[in-house]
Structures are given as C-alpha cells and as structure tokens.
A = this chain, B = another copy of it.
C-alpha cells in the first residue's frame, strides 16, 4: 500500500480524482482529458489504487474506476490537527479511550 499523500502530490492524479468525482469512468474516458498516453494514465491509476484512493470494477474488457473517499481520511485527519485545538484535544481523548478499550 502506497501513501495517499504521495499519490495526491501529483497534479495529474488530483485531476483524475476530480474527473472521477461525478461517477465511475474507464481509463480511456479519463485519458481524453489529458495529453499524455494511456500507459502513463494506467500507472497513475495504479498509484491511486495502491493508495486506496480509487476502486476498480471490471466489466468485460473495460474497467471502471471510482473515487474511494475513505482513502482521503489520512489527509483529512492531518488537516484536522491544525483546524482547531479543541477538536484536536477531543480526538486525542477519544483515541486514548479507544486504546484503553483495546487493552482490556
């Protein structure tokens, strides 16, 4: 599993995610939005999938890719650390509680 951070660091990959936002699409459909080749897109999709940011579904010879929003949770969590001190404390408290529970 690759990191979501590295996956979204690339401009083209973020663009892919935005394109998929409205619904699943095949590689060739996605590739129309870009100037690079299909194999290049294929590797981008692989990176996004390894990062858990997209899912795939095969239907015959075509493959449909879709956004996996849960894959963005690491990024969202990081931002939350800076969003609000109170939120951060609440979260720490919840996590401490969780650890306590798991220790039982």
Contact = CB atoms under 8 A, between A and B. Distances in A.
Contacts of A34: none
Interface in A63-100: 67, 69, 72, 75-76, 78-79, 81-82, 85-86
- Please tell me how many copies of the chain the complex holds: 2
A81 B76 CA distance: 12
A51 to B, nearest CB: 11
B81 A72 contact: no
B81 A69 contact: no
Interface in A20-78: 21-22, 67, 69, 72, 75-76, 78
B76 A72 contact: no
6 contacts: A3-B9, A3-B11, A9-B9, A14-B78, A21-B81, A22-B85
